[in-house]
Structure 1
């Protein structure tokens, strides 16, 4: 995490010669909605809470490393893409139609978070990554409150990136695509390998008994 934060700070501080504008026509069809600032901010607590749970409370070491590797791969690829393909967007509203506490929170967000280095969306990628970890966690699989709560919050966070004009739809789609690829490597491939090993062990035991 320290490596990522340091890398992100360096990216935010540099001024690239060329900036690639990320935009899709569908972006203009999504209205700005300041109320999504709540799930957007909850992202920081959500990611932290899940990591802390898997690090200190969940006894399944494999599940912990699957989560950490998933996050590490995604954030590392994000840094690489941002470094070699500087990107940003111009989706943010200049004038706000309403004046309320949520709009004030969004204005503060815009001041502290630039509209650069957005591809793919780490807000989206990490939200889906921790949801998958929660979904696959054996200790939590029967806890419906946690399962549904994690799903709903993850969906709201994904939507918030677009309704707050923090990300283009393209950022979201590429983040989801990356989630799918990494999931296939970290979870599906591992489980398939483990199943094959278990089948092999069982066959060896059967053969051993036959020769006794």
Structure 2
């Protein structure tokens, strides 16, 4: 018991994660109530993007990517942890507010053959558990961008070029997965990118130093 109490005293900043008790019930409420009479998010470009079930891999890795970054910074850097959480939770709240007052969704999910391969089976399972509503802006995209920004801003990870490049590749793959799996419209992705830019300025500011730019350009090749 003493060790448990010592752990919570040392990492008392984990209280921020209690935001989940606000987000999850709100999100589940929207999933149950926004089922019809919603605005369909669609642009012409969506029709040119083919369905590709293999993108289910980076799409599902999103959960480990975001959660892994949160816990890594919780144990290693309180400042980076707070900034990441503020970034993520601010956008997630804005998304919930948008979906509450602007009911939205998509209507272009393809008919799948779950028995085709393991990947289509996984996508079919995803479709059953995740409704095609409350898609704008895309939280998958937004949180991926926020996680990558936190990794790029981390002093501890500055010399770990492989981690930074891997993060960039995974972030881009997750963003692409949202449209190739027909989970989101391109407009949902654009909305998430715009929101990321705005929240970035609030949390980190826009005045990157020359060192930041140099390291970023090196990490991205």
Q: TM-score range by the shorter chain?
A: 0.7 to 0.9
Task: From the CA coordinates, give the structure whose radius of gyration is larger.
Answer: 1
Contact 1:16 1:86 in 2 (8 A): no
- The partner residue of 1:20 within 32, 36, 39 is 39
Q: Alpha-carbon deviation of 1:162?
A: 0.4
Residue 81 of structure 1 aligns to a residue whose secondary structure is helix
Match of 1:151 among 168, 171, 184: 168
- From the superposition, tell whether residues 24 and 49 of structure 1 become closer, same or farther in structure 2 (CA, over 3 Å): same
Equivalents in 2 of 1:43, 1:67: separation in Å? Answer: 15
The 5-angstrom pairing of residues 138-177 of structure 1 reads 138-177=155-194
TM-score of the superposition, structure 1-length normalised?
A: 0.85
Which residues in structure 2 correspond to 1:104-123 (within 5 Å)? 104-123=121-140
Q: CA deviation at 1:18?
A: 2.7
TM-aligned CA deviation for residue 16 of structure 1: 6.2
Aligned to 1:30: 49
* Cα distance in 2 for residues equivalent to 1:157 and 1:16: 26
Q: Does structure 2 conserve the Cα–Cα contact (< 8 Å) formed by 1:11 and 1:117?
A: yes
Distance in 2 separating the partners of 1:128 and 1:136: 12
Q: Does 1:40 align with 2:59?
A: yes
Please list every run of 5 or more consecutive structure 1 residues that lacks an aligned counterpart in the other structure.
Answer: 193-212
Once residues 170 and 197 of structure 2 are traced to their aligned partners in structure 1, the CA distance between those partners, rounded to angstroms, is 19
**How many pairs were matched up?**
190
Supply the distance in 1 between the matched residues of 2:44 and 2:29 (Cα, whole angstroms): 31
Higher mean alpha-carbon deviation, 15-24 vs 128-137, is at: 15-24
Alpha-carbon offset, residue 49 of structure 1 = 0.3
* Rounded Cα–Cα distance in structure 2 between residues aligned with 1:37 and 1:95: 13
Structure with more relative contact order (C-alpha pairs < 8 Å, separation 6 or more): 1
How many angstroms apart in 2 are the aligned matches of 1:82 and 1:49? 27
Structure 1 match to 2:13: none
Match of 1:53 in 2: 72
Q: CA RMSD in A?
A: 1.9
Judging changes above 3 Å, is the alpha-carbon distance between structure 1 residues 173 and 15 closer, same or farther for their aligned structure 2 residues? closer
TM-score by length of 2: 0.82
Contact (CA 8 Å) 2:114, 2:120: kept in 1 or not? no
